Amino acid sequence: MNNWRKTLGQRVRHLTPEQAREIIDAVSQRGPTIFHPEIRKLTGGFNSQAINYMVLRKLAVKAGIIKV
């Protein structure tokens, strides 16, 4: 069984803040859909509304947009 949270954590950890911002921009430009290839790539193929929200939050933390 694929643990998408672990995969997500590893892949976001290896991103630079600039790369995280680029992914956030790409997802934002695509519009209101749950099918984002950028997110599926980070999670190992998984996506849903809840997963997408979690991914965007982790990317925002990595990019320095929000603080935890």
DSSP the chain: ---HHHHHHHHHHTS-HHHHHHHHHHHHHH-S-S--HHHHHHHTS---HHHHHHHHHHHHHHHTSS--
pLDDT tens-digit map of 22-31: 999 999 998 8
Residue boundaries of the structural domains of the chain: 4-63
Residue 2 has pLDDT above 80, yes or no: no
pLDDT tens-digit map of 19-64: 999 999 999 998 888 899 999 999 999 989 999 999 999 999 999 9
In this prediction, residue 31 carries a pLDDT of 83
pLDDT tens-digit map of 8-18: 999 999 999 99
Quick one: CA dihedral 17, 19, 22, 27, positive or negative?
negative
In this prediction, residue 66 carries a pLDDT of 92
